A and B are shown apart, each in its own frame.
Chain A
Amino acid sequence: MIALKIAQRELTAALKDRLHGFRILMLCLIFGVASIATIGSLRGAIEAGLNSNGQVFLGGDAEIELTYRRASPQENDWMAQQSLQKSEIIDFRSMAVARDNSKRILTQVKAVDAAYPLVGEIVLSNGMSLPEALAGQNDLPGAVVAPALMRRLQLNLGDIMQLGEQEFVVMATLEKEPDNFGNFALGPRSIVLAQDLEGSGLLSQGTIFSSKYRLILPNGADFDKAKAIFETDWATAGGKWKDARNASPGAARAIDRLSTFLVLIGLSGLVVGGIGVSAAVRAFVAKKTGNIAVLKTLGATPRQIFWIYSLQIIAYTVVAVILGVLLGAVAPFLARPFLPESLSAVAVISVYPGALLEAATYGALAAAIFSIWPLAQTEQIRPANLFRGGTPQSWPAARYVIVLVILLGGALWGAVQFSGSITMTFWLLGGISLALLFLALMAGLFQLILKRVVRGKALQGRLALRAAVSAIASGTERAGPVVMGIGLGLAVLAAVGQIDGNLRNSMTKSLPDKAPSFFFLDIQSGQLDEFNQRLSDNTEVDRVETAPMLRGLVTQINGKPAAEVGGDHWVLRGDRGISYAAGMPENTSLIAGQWWADDYSGPAQISFSAEAAEEIGIGIGDSLTLNVLGRDITATITSLRDVDFSNASMGFVILLNAAALAGAPHSHIATVYASEVAEIAILDELGQAFPNVTGIQIREAVLMVSGIVSSIASAASIGAIATLITGFLILIGAASASSEQRAYETAVLKTLGATRREILVSFALRSSMIGALAASVALGAGLLGGWAVNNFVFESSFEVIWSNAALIILGGVGATLITGVLFALGPLSQSAAAELRHRN
Chain B
Amino acid sequence: MVPVSEQNAIDLKQVYLSLEGNAGMIEILHSIDLQITQGSSCALVGPSGSGKSSLLMVMAGLEQATKGRVSVLGQDISSMPENQLAQFRRGQVGVVFQSFHLIPSMTALQNVATALELAGASDPFDRAAQKLAEVGLAHRSDHFPKQLSGGEQQRVALARALASDPKIVFADEPTGNLDAANGASIADILFTLTEAQPDTTLILVTHDAELAARCDRIVNLRDGKVAERSVS
A: residues with CB less than 8 A from B are 2, 5-6, 9-10, 12-14, 290-291, 293-304, 379-380, 382-385, 387
Cα separation A10 to B111 with both chains bound (whole Å): 12
Cα separation A580 to B117 with both chains bound (whole Å): 91
Instruction: Determine whether the beta carbon of B105 is less than 8 Å from that of A296.
Output: no
User: What are 17 A-B pairs at a CB distance below 8 A?
Assistant: A5-B117, A291-B104, A296-B62, A296-B82, A297-B95, A297-B101, A298-B89, A298-B114, A298-B115, A298-B118, A299-B90, A300-B118, A301-B82, A301-B86, A301-B87, A383-B62, A385-B63
Instruction: Determine whether the beta carbon of B64 is less than 8 Å from that of A382.
Output: yes
Cα separation A12 to B105 with both chains bound (whole Å): 8
Q: Chain B: which residue is nearest A381 at the CB level?
A: B82
Cα separation A455 to B83 with both chains bound (whole Å): 42
Cα separation A10 to B104 with both chains bound (whole Å): 9
Given contacts A300-B86, A301-B86, contact A2 B101 (CB under 8 A): no
Cα separation A293 to B102 with both chains bound (whole Å): 10
Given contacts A297-B95, A384-B62, contact A290 B87 (CB under 8 A): no
Judged by a CB distance under 8 angstroms, whether B91 is at the interface is: yes
Judged by a CB distance under 8 angstroms, whether B16 is at the interface is: no
Interfacial chain A residues near B106, Cβ < 8 Å: 9-10, 13
Cα separation A729 to B65 with both chains bound (whole Å): 44
Instruction: Determine whether the beta carbon of A10 is less than 8 Å from that of B101.
Output: no
Cα separation A304 to B118 with both chains bound (whole Å): 10
Given contacts A379-B82, A380-B82, contact A297 B89 (CB under 8 A): yes
Instruction: Determine whether the beta carbon of B63 is less than 8 Å from that of A299.
Output: no
Judged by a CB distance under 8 angstroms, whether B41 is at the interface is: no
Question: Interface readout for B118-147 with A: 1 if CB under 8 Å, 0 if not?
Answer: 110000000000000000000000000000
Given contacts A294-B101, A382-B64, A383-B62, contact A299 B83 (CB under 8 A): no
Cα separation A303 to B103 with both chains bound (whole Å): 19
Q: Chain B: which residue is nearest A385 at the CB level?
A: B63
Instruction: Determine whether the beta carbon of A299 is less than 8 Å from that of B91.
Output: yes
- How many residue-residue contacts, CB under 8 A, span A and B? 80
Interfacial chain A residues near B63, Cβ < 8 Å: 382-385
Q: Chain B: which residue is nearest A293 at the CB level?
A: B101
Given contacts A6-B114, A299-B87, contact A291 B97 (CB under 8 A): no
Given contacts A294-B103, A299-B89, A299-B115, contact A9 B110 (CB under 8 A): yes
Interfacial chain B residues near A297, Cβ < 8 Å: 60, 62, 89, 95, 101
Q: Chain A: which residue is nearest B88 at the CB level?
A: A299
Contact of B118 among A293, A299, A385, A387 (CB under 8 A): A299
Residue of B91, B105, B160 with most partner-chain A CB within 10 A: B105
Per the 8 Å Cβ criterion, residues 48-69 of B in contact with A are: 54, 57, 60, 62-64
Cα separation A298 to B160 with both chains bound (whole Å): 9
Contact of A303 among B54, B83, B93, B95 (CB under 8 A): B83
Instruction: Determine whether the beta carbon of B82 is less than 8 Å from that of A302.
Output: yes
Instruction: Determine whether the beta carbon of A290 is less than 8 Å from that of B82.
Output: no
Contact of B119 among A14, A299, A387 (CB under 8 A): A299
B101 to chain A, nearest CB (A): 5
Instruction: Determine whether the beta carbon of A2 is less than 8 Å from that of B118.
Output: yes
Given contacts A296-B86, A301-B83, A380-B82, contact A387 B101 (CB under 8 A): yes
Interfacial chain B residues near A387, Cβ < 8 Å: 57, 62, 97, 101
Interfacial chain A residues near B105, Cβ < 8 Å: 9-10, 12-14, 291
Q: Chain A: which residue is nearest B113 at the CB level?
A: A5
Interfacial chain B residues near A298, Cβ < 8 Å: 89-90, 114-115, 118, 160
B40 to chain A, nearest CB (A): 22
